[in-house]
Structure 1
Amino acid sequence: MKLSDFHSTTWPENRDGFTTHLLITMKKIILFLTVLCFVVVSCTKEKTDYEAEIDTEVTEHHEFKEVYAINSDGYKISIEALNGTFYKGYNEIRLKITGSQTGAEADATAVTFLPIMSNANGDRTSCPHRYDLVYRQDESYFSGYSVFTDESGAERTWELYISFTIAGQTHTVKQNISVSEQTNQNLNMTTFTGKDEQQYFIALVSPQKPKVGENELVAGIYRYNRPTNPPSGDFPDASQFSYTEVSGFTLQLDPRMPEPSMGNHSSPNNKDLTQQNDGLYHGVVNYTMTGNWTLNFILLNQQGQILKGTVVSTDFTPGVVGVKSELHIDILF
């Protein structure tokens, strides 16, 4: 049966009208398929570029290696960090003091660690750090950390000031150091001023290499202690460069994929970060796939008051870059 026969048989009184309607419908279908093909091609191109962007190998570092060795007053001060490198962001520090000649462990006490950065104008600042190092008897080293806020460069230089006491005598040493760029975005950090006008720092500690699924998320949260008195004594006066691990805060977490093709969607089973016995903040982040993620935060103090951060809409927004909290850290794996 021909199409004309079909028209005649079924709609004999409205054949021309039906034909016109059919043609309009077919044009709409063709237009829809054209748009669909364009969208598919565009999304495929965007996805291909996106996959190329994330095609990087994230290296995990688990071995502590010597970064610097300082010989002074007959003693060797060995400073160790992961991969034997100081990076911008959180660095766990291990410090060992031995006799320069014998190599035997020295009976040192009151070991202090103070990093100071100088800029091109001669201004000096520090960064979150543990000033009084803690002795780990089981492994014979002094433990601490430093959250370097900038990498070294032509306009920024870092120095370490270390002191320790042996047999009632205090020894002091100074060492120029280099801080490298942190290429692992899973260890990014951020600095901000809270609603209480205090300066805060959030540094991601782990995971170095997330997996698809639930990951323990660990971060350090620190506050700068503004000096209450002018400097005194010989430089550096540690009271001018003091930081605190904030206690009893809550870091609310809302992870999103901000890429336009992802629609800023989130994931289930995430847990806010709260402080544990190690002084760090622990929570759970669920990455449903690899790619660009934004960790949106809201920081609450002990009273539950918001110090920084905004709620992110739950709307699915394909085609546009996702909105982020005013407090966030971008990661990539």
Structure 2
Amino acid sequence: MKSIKFIYILLPILFLSLLTTSCSNDDDDDYDPIITSEVDGLTKIQDITNATHTIELFNIEGNFYTGYNKISMRLKDNATNSYIEDASFSWMPKMQMPTMQHSCPKSAISKALGKNTVFEGYIIYQMTNTDGSGWSITINYTIDGVEYTANDTITVIQNDNQNVTSFMGSDDNRYIISLIQPNDPIIGINDLMVSVHKMETMMSFPVVEDYTITLDPRMPGMGNHSSPNNTDLSYNVSDTMYHANLSLTMTGYWVLNLKLMNANDDLLKGEDVTEENTQSSLYLELEF
């Protein structure tokens, strides 16, 4: 009889324990594995805060560099520590020079594909100070019709190779060309992608459409030899970038000699590589 009474007493306790454990697991499942995993593989660059929100900036490297920077961001409510899924953004990077300030090429900001809380875009820093200083960024955003702003200084590190170039064309317009791909070059045919922007004002740098860029890759340390099966860069309307095949026959330091032509085929910048002229005045660098 004592054993039967013990079982009757024990069963409700076991049932309550199982119920509590089940509820706890359900809560864990509902927690934020998705929110956390949405920035897997990315490194935080910095937080930009105001009184109500924190904007988290990420990329793969964890730093801004001269040239093309793909940037991911999340917006956190400071009061609830929850991430906001619906918001619209714009940004304005600025570099302060001794007598003036200017911006740089930048994209619109949109929701990252397949993400709930991550937004993304790109910024192309065409220059920086030797210590990485001089740049700041202002981010404006709207949530449920309410407008907010946040800003802070940022550090932009000089890239080792020339992956971006700013120059005056023969049409008296300033252009910026930036190397975007390949990220991990291989021996063989690589997908080459570059951006072309024009400085409309000190703060506006629209994409240049339907120009042509000739490509002549060379290895200065190896007799300045070229490679076979390269193609010239042409504009792709779907991503507003310029694409080509880049043939790399060996590892090492390469100079991508370029010539920029407008839609009328007028030469704006660059020269052919010859025995007398070993490098174009318009070029990008790549090393792997």
Structure 1 pair 137–101 and aligned structure 2 pair: CA distance change class (3 A):
farther
8 Å CA contact retained: 2:133, 2:156:
no
Identity of aligned residues (%): 32
Matches within 5 A, 1:153-172: 153=130, 156-172=133-149
8 Å CA contact retained: 2:132, 2:157:
no
2:75 corresponds in structure 1 to: 97
1:193 corresponds in structure 2 to: 168
TM-score by structure 1 length? 0.69
Alignment partner for residue 133 of structure 1, among 103, 109, 123? 109
> What amino acid maps onto 1:129 in structure 2?
K
> What amino acid maps onto 2:217 in structure 1?
P
CA distance in 2, matches of 1:285, 1:154: 33
CA distance in 2, matches of 1:137, 1:289: 35
8 Å CA contact retained: 2:132, 2:155:
no
CA distance in 1, matches of 2:147, 2:74: 16
1:328 corresponds in structure 2 to: 283
1:105, CA displacement in angstroms? 3.1
CA distance in 1, matches of 2:129, 2:84: 32
> What amino acid maps onto 2:120 in structure 1?
S
- Larger Cα-atom Rg: 1
2:22 corresponds in structure 1 to: none
Matched, 1:244 2:220: no
CA distance in 2, matches of 1:192, 1:243: 13
Matched, 1:212 2:187: yes
8 Å CA contact retained: 1:90, 1:203:
yes
Matches within 5 A, 1:133-152: 133-136=109-112, 138-140=114-116, 141-152=118-129
2:96 corresponds in structure 1 to: 118
1:122, CA displacement in angstroms? 4.4
8 Å CA contact retained: 1:108, 1:164:
no
1:155, CA displacement in angstroms? 8.9
Matches within 5 A, 1:245-324: 245-259=207-221, 262-276=222-236, 277-313=238-274, 315=275, 323-324=278-279
Alignment partner for residue 74 of structure 1, among 25, 49, 52? 52
Structure 2 spans left out of the alignment, 5+ residues = 1-39
Aligned length: 247
CA distance in 1, matches of 2:47, 2:285: 35
CA-to-aligned-CA distance 1:243-285 (integer Å, 9 cap, x gap): 11111122110111223xx332211100111222222211111
1:97, CA displacement in angstroms? 1.3
> What amino acid maps onto 2:41 in structure 1?
E
8 Å CA contact retained: 1:118, 1:156:
no
1:330, CA displacement in angstroms? 2.8
Matches within 5 A, 1:2-13: none
8 Å CA contact retained: 2:91, 2:140:
yes
2:152 corresponds in structure 1 to: 175
> What amino acid maps onto 1:201 in structure 2?
I
CA distance in 2, matches of 1:142, 1:198: 32
8 Å CA contact retained: 2:130, 2:158:
no
8 Å CA contact retained: 1:192, 1:199:
yes
1:65 corresponds in structure 2 to: 43
Structure 1 pair 291–178 and aligned structure 2 pair: CA distance change class (3 A):
same
Deviates more, 1:156-165 or 1:97-106: 97-106
1:150, CA displacement in angstroms? 2.2
1:136, CA displacement in angstroms? 2.8
